[in-house]
A and B are shown apart, each in its own frame.
Chain A
Amino acid sequence: QKEVEQNSGPLSVPEGAIASLNCTYSDRVSQSFFWYRQYSGKSPELIMSIYSNGDKEDGRFTAQLNKASQYVSLLIRDSQPSDSATYLCAVYKGSQGNLIFGKGTKLSVKP
């Protein structure tokens, strides 16, 4: 079983819609979860971190965590064409904090 799984997409949504990105992880003791955005040819850019069950909102972004289901999601409200990128889910692992990444979901926001 892969440690961090994401639907590779592409996920296509119209401008102004809500984009929903999902991630599951296999290690039940994982505590910290991160969403990164990666534009083509660029490096991962941290968008959100979440550590507790429930929702965490930051502007147009909401991260949701359900540890019982081993499930993390990212909602992007009022999606913009500039949100078109690959979204990477990452789970903290190890005593010194190395991250385990999923393959990412490619999001396309159509004007």
Chain B
Amino acid sequence: EPEVTQTPSHQVTQMGQEVILRCVPISNHLYFYWYRQILGQKVEFLVSFYNNEISEKSEIFDDQFSVERPDGSNFTLKIRSTKLEDSAMYFCASTRTSGSYNEQFFGPGTRLTVL
């Protein structure tokens, strides 16, 4: 069964450093998402992406964040200058269609630790 994959599983970085989190969505899916979950808190939407551009973004997704689909398979989230409060699990999700009935499938996540 196809699944979303994410690398690395755990990333440790120093405050102020840039990190890139990688995702490979399910192959026939067209809509991609990033969510994050701070330890003990709820899953929060960051950004949605379709047709090589951002569709929607939340207030969390400020100028420090960017997303890219550099090739036909990868979908990346870049944090330019990490802060302590960026420490969280970051989940990539994908879905085949948009609209009310899309079912989003999540990758295993990347645990980002900012020291």
Contact = CB atoms under 8 A, between A and B. Distances in A.
Contacts of A102: 42
B91 interface: yes
B33 A32 contact: no
A69 interface: no
Interface in B64-115: 89, 91, 95, 98-109
Contact of B98 (A46, A97, A103): A97
B41 interface: yes
A46 B105 CA distance: 7
A67 to B, nearest CB: 13
B103 A101 contact: no
A49 interface: yes
B44 A101 contact: yes
A81 interface: no
A43 B108 contact: yes
A42 B41 CA distance: 14
A41 B40 CA distance: 10
B55 interface: yes
A97 B106 contact: no
B104 A104 contact: no
Contacts of A98: 33, 45, 48, 56, 58
Contacts of A43: 89, 91, 106-109
A97 B31 contact: yes
A41 to B, nearest CB: 8
21 contacts: A31-B100, A36-B106, A43-B89, A43-B91, A43-B109, A44-B91, A45-B106, A46-B103, A46-B105, A49-B101, A51-B100, A94-B48, A95-B55, A97-B33, A97-B102, A98-B45, A98-B58, A99-B35, A99-B104, A100-B45, A103-B41
Interface of A: 31-32, 34, 36, 42-46, 49, 51, 88, 90, 92, 94-104
Interface of B: 31, 33, 35, 41-45, 48, 50, 55-56, 58, 89, 91, 95, 98-109
